[in-house]
Amino acid sequence: MMHLYIWGVILVSACQSLYFGWRFLRRILFCPWCWQRCRMMHRFPARWSSTICHHHARRMIAQAAARRARRLAQSVMGG
């Protein structure tokens, strides 16, 4: 009976590792910014879609907000 419990725990742990590991790997595999960060952009397959991961999407949104704020500040100060 104890063997079944141990195998059940191992199976659940393996499934959780695969689930969370796949999410991490999918982010790394399909985000061109992650490839660029790892200095492997020259190996990024051209036929893949360029899906941006959540980390880099948030970074792009923050950069756009900063540009917008700079433009607004320049227009207020300059005009």
Structure tokens of 77? 């100060």
pLDDT for res 79: 56
pLDDT for res 40: 73
Average pLDDT, the chain: 80
Structure tokens of 63? 């950069």
Which residues form the domain of 13? 2-78
Rounded Cα distance between 17 and 5, Å, is 18
How many folded domains does the chain comprise? Answer: 1
Rounded Cα distance between 52 and 54, Å, is 7
Please, which pLDDT band fits residue 1 given cuts at 50, 70 and 90? confident
Q: What is the pLDDT of residues 2-41, one digit of tens each?
A: 888 888 888 888 877 777 766 667 666 777 777 777 777 6
Structure tokens of 23? 């999410």
Single pTM value for the model: 0.50
